[in-house]
Amino acid sequence: MKTIRAAIIPVTEFQQNCTLLWDNDTMQAVVIDPGGDLPRLRKAIAETKVKVEKIWLTHGHIDHAGAAAELREELGVPIEGPHRAEEFLLGHIAASGLKFGMFSARNVVPDRWLDEGDEVEIGTLKFGVLHCPGHSPGSVAFVHKGERFAIVGDVLFAGSIGRSDLPGGDHAALIRSIKDKLIPLGDDVAFICGHGPASTIGRERASNPFLK
Ligand SMILES: [Zn+2]
Ligand SMILES: [Zn+2]
């Protein structure tokens, strides 16, 4: 990759892969899925010396969006994504926090809802948006076609797929999202997912047992 740099910071008890992604030419950065553990995120931001200008959300679960409202307030940057179909989940974060003992988690209303075909930008980098329902109804993936790189949230994992048994989940829709939108990106596309190690579309197409 030429200008994209990314650091993965696992956050919350769910070990969610919060991703600090930046344009290495300009050092402008986006925090993707700040679910919690803000001190850890602040440290990563300071160490990489980037300037965070955006927050992007793949979907509305607490481990992905629980600290988004607080980070937005602290940095004064806009939140982009997910798709509007996540509104009910984003409005349920504080209640989930009580259940999971994440008492600082707050509900969040994004500054910009995203839809299929939209574009988001950080520095000179432009990412396309794919609406990938199934794990949750408004999950989105961010794709940089030129650099063959994507962030897919909890839609697809290395050797697994997202759960579809949570509110708004739909197994058939999830499989369709993966087969119709992610697989066609091409075997050489590398991706970071919401939990666990990164992978490539090619590896998952060939060996993911859920896609047989
Ligand atoms: Zn999730
Ligand atoms: Zn997750």
pLDDT of residue 190: 98
What CA–CA distance (Å, rounded) separates 27 from 136?
Answer: 32
pLDDT of residue 212: 87
pLDDT of residue 51: 98
pLDDT digits (tens, 9 = 90+) for 136-190: 999 999 999 999 999 999 999 999 999 999 999 999 999 999 999 999 999 999 9
Residue ranges for the chain with pLDDT beneath 70: 1-2
Residues flanking ion ligand 2, Cβ below 5 Å: 63, 154, 194
pLDDT of residue 127: 98
Q: From 74, 3, 62, select the one nearest 36 (Cα to Cα).
A: 62
CA of 86 to the centre of ligand 2 (A): 14
8-35 in b/e burial notation, b at 16+ Cβ within 10 A?
Answer: bbebbebebbbbbbbbeeeebbbbbbbb
